[in-house]
Amino acid sequence: MAARKTIERQTGVALWRQIADRVRLAISNGDYDATGMVPPETALAREFGVNRHTVRSALAALAEEGLVRAVQGRGTLIERKDRVTYPISRRTRFSAGLGRQVKEIGSQLLAHREVQASGEVAAALALPPGAAVVELQSVSSGDGRPLSATIAYFPAGRFPEMAQLYARLGSITKAFAAQGLDDYVRVSTEIVARHADAEELKLLKLSAGAIVIEALSVNADVEGRPVEYSRTRFAADRMKFRIET
């Protein structure tokens, strides 16, 4: 551990935040599994070449996230170290994919309305521009931690009861089934990584400077007709993605 880990100064990102990110990654990589604790503050300070107070700020941020817990006299204990793996395949389903990894999956419908499809939405759903679509905003969480925030669009003509059914059943797959669609497949997924904006920080309960992965995806029925277009923002530091081709 004598090797001094490099961090960058004067770049608009505070040192304590850079250190927090590095320690979070080390935790999820299992680097501290031997002890179940983060190295002592003085050791981290030496390692990163900063003052101990700066390390303390970083650890305070991680404690705020519930990732670690400092105990005076003992050290800083790791409370949680998991990244949830999210599989992406032709049969991508949110709940099924997360199934065994989290004990309890929560889905909260934040808002729903019927709107005219924008050009982007209409193109993705293969509808004429301005066609009626159901818009659904929701947040999903695993074991109480928000994992993703989604805005999804469905053709209103075909799935008029989408919002009510999703609110009641808590699952898109079940809501589709209740409307006569038994099977659907993922047609395309586009992924971008970027910093979270203020709304996403709030929805996903992230500490600022956090990263979100934004996925634009289209699902279609077995005949290839699009049934859903969605924009999902994942809390990047709580997830990894496995792409099965």
Partner DNA sequence: CCTAAATGTCTATTGATCTAGACAAGTATA
Partner DNA sequence: TATACTTGTCTAGATCAATAGACATTTAGG
Q: Which residues of the chain form contacts with DNA (CB under 7 A)?
A: 10-12, 14-17, 38, 40-43, 49-51, 53-54, 56-57, 59, 70-76
Q: Is 198 in the site for a copy of itself (CB under 8 A)?
A: yes
Q: Which of 141, 44, 47 lies closest to 95 in space, CA to CA?
A: 141
* Comparison of 135 and 237: residue with beta carbon closer to a copy of itself: 237
Q: Give the C-alpha separation, 94 to 198, whole Å.
A: 25
How many other C-beta atoms can be found within 10 angstroms of the C-beta atom of residue 242? 10
Q: Is 50 in the site for a copy of itself (CB under 8 A)?
A: no
Tokens of 107: 């889905």
φ and ψ at residue 189, rounded to 5 degrees:
-140, 130
Q: Is 195 in the site for a copy of itself (CB under 8 A)?
A: yes
Which of the stretches 3-11, 31-39, 171-179, 221-229 binds a copy of itself when contact is defined by CB under 8 A? Answer: 3-11
* Comparison of 11 and 72: residue with beta carbon closer to a copy of itself: 11
Residue 65 binds what, of a copy of itself, DNA, none (CB under 5 to 8 Å, by partner type)? none
Tokens of 200: 């996403």
* Comparison of 31 and 120: residue with beta carbon closer to DNA: 31
Which of the stretches 72-80, 141-149, 160-168, 232-240 binds a copy of itself when contact is defined by CB under 8 A? Answer: 232-240
Q: Is 151 in the site for a copy of itself (CB under 8 A)?
A: no
* 99: helix, strand or coil: coil
Q: Which of 105, 83, 103 lies closest to 94 in space, CA to CA?
A: 105
**Inter-CA distances, 49 with 5, 31, 59, 215, 217, Å:** 8, 19, 16, 37, 43
* Comparison of 30 and 157: residue with beta carbon closer to a copy of itself: 30
Q: Among all chains, which residue has been given the structure tokens 């935040």?
A: 17
Given candidates 63, 88, 177, 220, which one binds a copy of itself under the rule CB under 8 A?
A: 88
Q: Are 182 and 206 in contact (CB under 8 A)?
A: no
Q: Give the C-alpha separation, 168 to 175, whole Å.
A: 9
Residue 73 binds what, of a copy of itself, DNA, none (CB under 5 to 8 Å, by partner type)? DNA
Residue 244 binds what, of DNA, a copy of itself, none (CB under 5 to 8 Å, by partner type)? a copy of itself
Q: Are 147 and 161 in contact (CB under 8 A)?
A: no
Which of the stretches 62-70, 87-95, 127-135, 147-155 binds a copy of itself when contact is defined by CB under 8 A? Answer: 87-95
Q: Is 213 in the site for a copy of itself (CB under 8 A)?
A: yes
For the four alpha carbons of 157, 163, 165 and 169, in that order, the dihedral sign comes to positive
- Positions in the binding site for a copy of itself (CB under 8 A): 5-8, 11-14, 16-18, 20-22, 25, 57, 61, 83, 85, 88-90, 92, 185-195, 197-199, 201, 207-209, 211, 213, 236-237, 240-245
